[in-house]
Structure 1
Amino acid sequence: MSETTTTDLYEVTMALSYLRERMTEPATFSCFVRQLPPDRGFLVCAGAESALSYLSRYRVGLDDAKAFAEALGRPLHDLMPLVGTRFTGTVRAVPEGRVVLAGEPLMEVTAPLPQAQLVETCVLNHLSHQTMVASKCIRCVIAAQGHAVVDFSLRRTHGTAAGLQAARLAALTGYAGTSNVATARALNFPAVGTMAHSYVEAFENEEAAFTAFARCHPGPVTLLVDTYDTESGVAVAARVLRALGRADGSAIRLDSGDLKELSFRARAVLDAAGLTQVRIIASGGLDEFAVHDLLSAGAPIDVFAVGTRVGVSADAPYLDSAYKLVEYDGRPMMKLSSAKVTAPGRKQVFRRRGCADVIGLADETPPVGSVPLLETMMRGGARCTYLPPLEEVRRQLTAEVAQLPAAAREIRSPVPVRATVSKPLAALTVRVRQRIERAVFGTTPVGRSDHVSG
């Protein structure tokens, strides 16, 4: 399946019309999130790397034109003006792993109008999905309060490509490992895993299963203890680990039931057996809410394996994201629809300590004590910057999250951090609005006060 034809049909119909009307001057589109999902005090920007890779490969070939013609029910000749189109524009974006707020541009794409329009769908998809999952991942790290978190999401993400992205974002946000071998290998990131209940069931009893597993795998092992009865499973695991001298670095895994109560009982059994060094790993439908509640209750859990609910961001599975035209042929543009008003012009986010951000114009003087957040990552359709090593990204993200107001980091009912708008941007918004309203309505309507985003 062609990446080029993986798009919404209206991108093609609009691009064709632009070409017919000779509207090929540079256009800037801004990608942003209008509102944060429930229980989110901030977001973590992600997806720029894969979006840039997509843009650098973008080409419309003859086969793509044939597919578009078939979809539209039109002769191939009508679609030929698109053949040979590639992305030749400039991209400014927030580096991956940075905290972002509602209304702030994650990426701004400037290119000839047909090009900038054609790439909308995939750019928005890359940024929206990965920002959503990265934001869920970091909340698990916050909830874990220094305890290790590992990614077990691959088997239930919405496709293996999404699973690869989730594992990468887990690494980016500070997880200790992933069950996803491909991502672990690609990123030199620890691969982690235990055993399934089916493995235990395949043997005559738990002792035989645990012994066979430990004999097969040298070094520390993790034994799944809740296939039948958890407490007896912990006792069997303790007996096997002691008999084989394999306690150091090893762990048991709890995957079901009342994890709080079971973790207390498991810890008591292990300690009574003199295995204080054996860790307890918890899994089974966990996310930041469950992790927060378990640790708040004092559960003696050392490692949290999060999977399904994090890999699909179950409580907030989408972002209210948009990709809107803000400038064409040097002229600032904006949308006036009720509740979806956008701000005009190319923008910059000026970051101050604590993410007290100011959204301003791209060419305005930065406010005192601020640094610009968006960086130029592509010129002439070619990459000009690359993501720093993951360890560096993790360190910066950790520091930035630590600077957020405590209320924004709360797991339940956080208070979102809100960016302010610079005076030059506010003034431009008023001027552009008046210009549009005069052109559309012949006058400026009275009493309009829609909220401006992006």
Structure 2
Amino acid sequence: MPSYTPGVRIPTELYRPSLALLTDLYQLTMAYAYWKSGMEELQAAFHLFFRRNPFGGGFTIACGLEYAIDLIESLRFEADDLAYLAEVRGSDGGKLFDAAFLDHLASMRLACDVDAVPEGTVVFPLEPMVRVTGPIVHAQLVETPLLNLINFQSLVATKAARVVLAARGDPVLEFGLRRAQGFDGGLAASRAAWVGGCSGTSNVMAGRLFGIPVSGTHGHSWVMAFDDELSAFRAYADALPNNCIFLVDTYDTREGVRHAIQVGRELRARGHEMLGIRLDSGDLAWLSSEARKMLDE
């Protein structure tokens, strides 16, 4: 692989206070063309909507508005942003943007009105979720970040709501951080799952930032660190008798359920309750049914 030295330390310096450049270049080139044409104050209305419900379902859960409002209220082009844009080149090698336009961006303060459905609202195709009205340059510059924030978080919130409905009143915990699209995607997804109805998250940072209850089990590595599974479950119960959800599929899943039941009875004798078991692999539908029968005996 060719060596590469990034211009910033990732992720420490990537997510700076300014997110003005979190957009597509064509939003900036359109803004520049509006400005050069004397149209920057033209009043415009942008509507954010979608054409089809995700997952072939019958509804969508609106989410991402809090992120969007925060971005709109704080959006500013800082000196570093403008210095970067000053060096962007066109196809002829010349600078893409005039210095006067960059000065315009430096002094710009968004003057848009934003109307939106509240987060957690059930919405349907072709109806506006967000409406942005104001000078066309201002509205144009927030189109891409609004689509990014609303689309992704509404997708996650909708999936969470479908799972919660399928659970029929049983609590659903979100555990997606390790497979999320980066740490920012992980935080946004944890929050969106909470909006969609999940009762907790494994994401400790999301718990701290958003006030979501945190919950968790243990990993396969915990079980493998002991001579046998039963010893691993007992050691975990000794350490955390008030937080026992046992991961039962490290070796033989049905045997793991039996071991969890055994330790659960030992916990009950000590005045504690096993909270449940976790299945992580195999035929989850069949194993869930079999585990439920064993736990109910």
Same fold (TM over 0.5): yes
Shift in Å, 1:62: 2.7
> How many angstroms apart in 2 are the aligned matches of 1:262 and 1:49?
39
Q: Encode CA deviations 1:228-249: one digit per residue, 9 max, x unaligned.
A: 1112222222222323436624
Alignment pair present for 1:250 and 2:275: yes
Alignment pair present for 1:162 and 2:162: no
> How many angstroms apart in 2 are the aligned matches of 1:176 and 1:52?
25
Alignment pair present for 1:127 and 2:144: no
Shift in Å, 1:162: 1.5
Shift in Å, 1:147: 2.1
CA contact (8 A) 1:137 1:173 kept: yes
Aligned CA RMSD, in angstroms, stands at: 2.0
Q: Encode CA deviations 1:188-243: one digit per residue, 9 max, x unaligned.
A: 33211101111101111112211111111132411111111112222222222323
- Secondary structure of 1:92's counterpart equals strand
* Structure-1 residue corresponding to 2:83: 66
Shift in Å, 1:258: 2.0
CA contact (8 A) 2:54 2:155 kept: no
1:260 maps to which of 281, 285, 292: 285
> How many angstroms apart in 2 are the aligned matches of 1:60 and 1:51?
17
> How many angstroms apart in 1 are the aligned matches of 2:292 and 2:125?
43
**AA matched with 2:21:** T
CA contact (8 A) 1:33 1:102 kept: yes
> How many angstroms apart in 2 are the aligned matches of 1:28 and 1:104?
14
* Structure-2 residue corresponding to 1:142: 165
User: Normalized against structure 2, the TM-score is what?
Assistant: 0.84
CA contact (8 A) 2:64 2:192 kept: no
Q: Encode CA deviations 1:276-298: one digit per residue, 9 max, x unaligned.
A: xxxxxxxxxxxxxxxxxxxxxxx
Larger RCO (alpha carbons 8 Å, 6+ apart)? 1
Shift in Å, 1:263: 3.1
Shift in Å, 1:76: 6.1
Structure having the larger proportion of residues in helix? 2
**AA matched with 2:62:** C
> How many angstroms apart in 2 are the aligned matches of 1:266 and 1:48?
40
* Structure-2 residue corresponding to 1:16: 32
Shift in Å, 1:268: 4.2
1:77 maps to which of 85, 99, 108: 99
CA contact (8 A) 1:16 1:82 kept: no
- Secondary structure of 1:71's counterpart equals coil
Q: Encode CA deviations 1:292-337: one digit per residue, 9 max, x unaligned.
A: xxxxxxxxxxxxxxxxxxxxxxxxxxxxxxxxxxxxxxxxxxxxxx
Alignment pair present for 1:209 and 2:232: yes
Q: 1:89 to 1:156 in 2, by over 3 A?
A: same
> How many angstroms apart in 2 are the aligned matches of 1:271 and 1:53?
48
> How many angstroms apart in 2 are the aligned matches of 1:216 and 1:21?
69
Q: How do 1:300-379 residues align onto structure 2 when only pairs under 5 Å count?
A: none
* Structure-2 residue corresponding to 1:332: none
Q: 1:14 to 1:261 in 2, by over 3 A?
A: closer
User: Normalized against structure 1, the TM-score is what?
Assistant: 0.57
Q: 1:266 to 1:100 in 2, by over 3 A?
A: closer
Shift in Å, 1:270: 3.7
**AA matched with 1:9:** L
Shift in Å, 1:105: 0.9
> How many angstroms apart in 2 are the aligned matches of 1:142 and 1:250?
21
* Structure-1 residue corresponding to 2:205: 182
**AA matched with 2:220:** H
Shift in Å, 1:25: 2.7
* Structure-1 residue corresponding to 2:6: none
Shift in Å, 1:21: 1.7
**How many matched pairs?**
272
Structure having the larger proportion of residues in strand? 1
Shift in Å, 1:146: 1.8
Q: 1:38 to 1:253 in 2, by over 3 A?
A: closer
Q: Could you list the runs of 5+ residues in structure 1 that have no partner in the other structure? A: 273-454
**AA matched with 1:5:** L
**AA matched with 1:52:** I
> How many angstroms apart in 2 are the aligned matches of 1:254 and 1:3?
40
* Structure-2 residue corresponding to 1:47: 64
CA contact (8 A) 2:54 2:60 kept: no
> How many angstroms apart in 2 are the aligned matches of 1:7 and 1:212?
51
Alignment pair present for 1:221 and 2:244: yes
Q: 1:62 to 1:263 in 2, by over 3 A?
A: closer
Q: Encode CA deviations 1:21-56: one digit per residue, 9 max, x unaligned.
A: 221132211111133345121211111111111000
CA contact (8 A) 1:12 1:68 kept: no
Q: How do 1:88-127 residues align onto structure 2 when only pairs under 5 Å count?
A: 88-127=111-150
